[in-house]
A = this chain, B = another copy of it.
Amino acid sequence: MPKKYVYLFSEGNESMRNLLGGKGANLAEMTNLGMPVPNGFTITTEACTRYYDDGEKIAPEIEEEILRYLDELERITGKKFGDEENPLLVSVRSGARASMPGMMDTILNLGLSERVTAVMAQKSGNPRWAYDCYRRFIQMYSDVVMEVGKEYFEALIAAMKLSRGVEQDVDLTADDLKELAGQFKAEYKAKTGSDFPTEPKDQLLGAVRAVFRSWNNSRAIVYRRENDIPGSWGTAVNVQSMVFGNMSESSGTGVAFTRDPATGARKLYGDYLQNAQGEDVVAGIRTPQPIDQLGEIMPDVYKEFVAIADKLEQHYRDMQDMEFTIENGKLFMLQTRNGKRTPFAALKIAVALVNEGMCTKEEALLKIEARALDALLHPIFEEKALKAAKPIGKGIDASPGAATGHVYFTAEDAVAHAPDGPVLLVRTQTSPEDLAGMYVAQGILTAVGGKASHAAVVARGAGICCVVGCNDLIIRESERNLYINGVTVREGEFMSIDGSTGNVYIGTIPTVDASISDDFSIIMGWADEVRRLKIRTNADTPHDAEVALKFGAEGIGLTRTEHMFFDDDRIPAIREMIVSKTAEQRKVALAKILPFQRDDFIGIFRVMREKPVTIRLLDPPLHEFLPTKEEDIRALAVEMSPLYDGLRKTLTDNGLLVSNDVWERLLYENLNATIDSLHEENPMMGHRGCRLDVSYPEIAEMQSRAIIEAAIAVKKETGIDIVPEIMIPLVCELKELKYVKNLVTGTADAIIAESGVDLKYHVGTMIEIPRAALLADEIATEAEFFSFGTNDLTQMTFGFSRDDAGKFLPEYYDKKILESDPFQRLDQSGVGKLVELGVSLGRSVRPDLKVGICGEHGGDPSSVEFCHRTGLDYVSCSPFRVPIAKLAAAQAAIKSK
């Protein structure tokens, strides 16, 4: 039997969503439920993928099948395509598996020709309606099928209104509209070189092709990428006989939700527009009435609609978003689907549905989009104020929330002015040296960079609102002002940014604080009941740890020990350590760092108490900590001069040092040469991670000492059994891990023995180099736990530098080579294969191996689902993503049942 590419609504049902698309499946379901749905048929998503496989052509057998179903539709409706007496008019609408509102194309009133319109005008007694339909159809068809831009037609309408001396479209008469239709067709011919098609079957096939084509228009591609919808799914096409909301005063059209999509409140919510077609509602030219007023205008129809709405919500067990049309007092349902809602409403509705007995907790959990929780955890702009505000520019939404503050252009200024009021740090880009300024800011705005840039990563970790890559922004740091799209903003003036949309505003916009509702806690509780994955957090400070605990983190999966190295009171010692030329010099510097590191860990252990804490040894390339400006290098040289006192004395004693200037120049040139020698061509694959410990064992020893001494101190202080997990980064070889592990255990065991305290600790490793994943069975003989560092693993597996890939990846999306950013969403087929391999090899030699991930992916729902399926023990993410990860972990557990 050949494959079936077309289904009547009555042949389908809800479960056929993959084949019929969401809209088609629901139209079929409503048809089967006996609801008033205009007749029609659906051309499947497989026809769409076939269209692309065949080189953007509809195969002859599919074309024939479509026309066969058109005949059937004519038979059912008793109308005929192109018939003057009883013409069949249809709408042609896209409908993918997942809802993609407004992303693809729709054509209404298909089947009209001049002759049919004339008859329709006469028979209906409403010629204005008939010609309005006709000119709309020409306009839509030209736009959608032939890609003749809308603007030409809008210009013709504007010219007609001017010549008739009227202001509104509705003031144009039937004759005006008829004349316009003629002008439209002339315009069509001028632009396309051929006559406007009069044969309805040609129109239909053209429209179907246009809908297929629209699956790959640029806004659909962008929408899919942002919503994780695979490009391979394709769209279905729904062909439905027209009903007309614009036929009379007892006609109309509307959209409604069974609950308030903004608040989740249980009441019918929507708009109704009398004597209009659907596109008028969408276009927003006329102001619609609230849906409940329909009860006064047409009480019976309203009652019927309310009953259908209730039935649909009961049937789908979720809040519904419906479209309907009333034609001369008769109600027709054109669409129903699970309604989009705000994150706030999503929680409210989920809890309500369970309380009302409409679904189980597990079903309710699946109705909430995990990533949307982000928005509930941060301040947002007041809705009304936001509507009134006009963005001056747009960047990339890097970290959610809303921020208003005085603009400052350097980290120092931000720190200095933070006590006087909210601060917005605006920079071309940020670097680790800006950390202090970033932490005091309400928001961070940068001119360059993407979602993986330094500003974005730090901001998300700290829950600070952040917009990056705002290309229109020109920062003139020396003049203490910025310029954006014609406006100059001086230091200290107000700007606002929306980290959830990327919008940038001049002036202040009032914000509303995040408030974790009761519903939020209930949902988190349900998630905790079903999930298997543990959720840890990436936290570098006691404060981060506290925030994460508040959100329910069950441990720390990653503490970056270098994170606090930039504090003013530490950086001199760090730099001294880095430029040391002997192990002795290095030990002197490390001894200065030790108390700081120990205090960091004491603070973290105190907060986390008995919960596990994984601390990673020093990871980044050392030159990140070094000064680059000449003045800073000179200052560091002077700071370090005591190390050379002996040499200086010798020089002086021999009469070789005549002035202090010469001495300082000597020191400066020496230091400068050292800094130069640390330069690397590809620092990401250079001297970093445990490679530093192999070169300078005293670093691992100092850090191990700080960790173990801190654990002992907190254990003594609180009596709680602290069990630190010490993690060795960037391992690529068993013997390398062994070498560094020996440094750790040698130091740790000696301190523990000396202290007389019974302290346990674990030593494990990051798996972030492909070779470590490939040889995980060897690595696991020494590692007590694995933590997949999927950021670096993604870099090495793809050969994509995070710092540079932003320049060429957009072409990869445009050309559909990649569907999403592998640094945001774990590449399950490639990087995921290494993760799976690493887990199974590791557990093959150490069955109780604890395995987690601590890359940015730990807060991405689809990646969390992968981690669940792969049998990981935990994911670790930034504090503000802990709730997302918990929900995603619960959803993964439910789906895998």
Contact = CB atoms under 8 A, between A and B. Distances in A.
Interface in A789-821: 792, 795-801, 803-805, 807-808, 811-812, 815-818
A480 B470 CA distance: 50
A775 B807 CA distance: 25
A686 B803 CA distance: 9
A319 to B, nearest CB: 37
Interface stretch (A34-42, A173-181, A677-685): A677-685
B695 A808 contact: yes
Given A798-B771, A799-B769, A735 B682 contact: no
Contacts of A812: 694, 736
A804 B730 contact: no
B687 A808 contact: yes
A684 B681 contact: yes
Interface stretch (A13-21, A825-833, A858-866): A825-833
Contacts of A831: 771
Nearest to A692: B808
A731 to B, nearest CB: 10
Given A680-B801, A735-B816, A799-B685, A691 B792 contact: no
Contacts of A682: 682-685, 801, 803-804
B804 A687 contact: yes
A349 to B, nearest CB: 39
Contact of A771 (B687, B730, B816, B830): B830
A770 interface: yes
Interface string A818-846: 10000000010111011000000000000
A795 B684 CA distance: 11
Interface string A76-89: 00000000000000
A732 interface: yes
Contacts of A769: 797-799
A280 interface: no
A484 interface: no
A803 B770 contact: no
Contacts of A833: 774-775
Contacts of A801: 680-686
Contacts of A811: 694-695
A721 interface: no
This protein's copies in its complex: 2
A833 B771 CA distance: 9
A733 interface: yes
A739 interface: yes
Interface string A690-713: 010011000000000000000000
A658 B670 CA distance: 48
Interface in A242-266: none
A771 B826 CA distance: 13
A554 B831 CA distance: 37
Interface string A762-778: 00000011110011000
A896 to B, nearest CB: 24
A679 to B, nearest CB: 9
Given A684-B799, A694-B815, A770-B799, 20 more contacts: A680-B807, A681-B684, A681-B804, A682-B682, A682-B685, A683-B804, A685-B805, A686-B808, A694-B812, A732-B798, A732-B799, A732-B800, A736-B812, A739-B815, A771-B827, A771-B830, A771-B831, A775-B830, A796-B796, A796-B799
Among all A-B residue pairs, the 7 with the closest Cβ atoms? A682-B801, A681-B803, A685-B801, A771-B830, A686-B804, A769-B799, A680-B804
Interface of A: 680-687, 691, 694-695, 730, 732-733, 735-736, 739, 768-771, 774-775, 792, 795-801, 803-805, 807-808, 811-812, 815-818, 827, 829-831, 833-834
